[in-house]
Amino acid sequence: MTEEGRQVVQCFRAVSAYGKEIEALCETLNARLTQEIDNLKDELPCKVAGQFMKSSREDEWDWIFTDVAYSLPLMDKAFRKKRAEMYLGYQISLTGDGMSFDGNEEPLLHVCFWDIEIGFGDEGVHMAYPVDQEHQPRLKDNRLILWEGSGADWKKYQWTFSLRLLELKTSQDLHDRVIKPAIALLSGVDVRTALPDDLAGLVIYPDESVLNPAVQESAAVE
């Protein structure tokens, strides 16, 4: 086998191995996040309304997966009949518009609390850069992207925070950096307490121009 041939084989073996690790991460995160919400149902304003829903995206040649996402439906804890009102989910983006913004060259994991499940394709809604401006997103404390929600109380806002995927190495990391902050935000904890400066892997944006380059271009013109 030529050296070039070995490199191709090693490359695909590496992609396959990394895919296996991501699948294991997702299985762990899904189980622990569901369990955590169930355990805290008396303290949270919401409860689980169904099972995680999966969505994924391949590259333009349909050779490799570039993104995978899971969404957990939630409902007001006062309701008895299950019906999804909001979704707590996460999106893993290895390449493409789900992780590519000025200053970042690493895979990301986005934690999203939206009124729609994360999805890809023409009809789907997913985290991408630049951020869609239709619903007027705003940046809170340089770390949490906020949109107006469709309800009151715990449904008043939709939000997303992001983490550098390679910083999530253990199940404890998933608890401390994904689950714990997400639960804190659901509980109404303020942003800097839920997402402190020393939270390893947390994406801190310099300003809103990273999310929407048009902001920077407008400022430059002025």
Residue 212 pLDDT > 70, yes or no? yes
> pTM here?
0.93
C-alpha dist (Å) from residue 65 to 22, 59, 83, 92: 11, 6, 31, 10
Band of residue 215 on the pLDDT scale cut at 50, 70, 90: low
pLDDT average, residue stretch 125-149: 91
CA distance 101 to 216: 14
Average pLDDT over residues 91-107: 93
Q: Where are the domains of the chain?
A: 3-221
Mean per-residue pLDDT, 37-44? 92
Reported as a single tens digit per residue, the pLDDT across 45-63 is 999 999 999 999 999 999 8
pLDDT digits (tens, 9 = 90+) for 150-208: 888 899 999 999 999 999 999 999 999 999 999 999 999 999 999 999 999 999 998 88
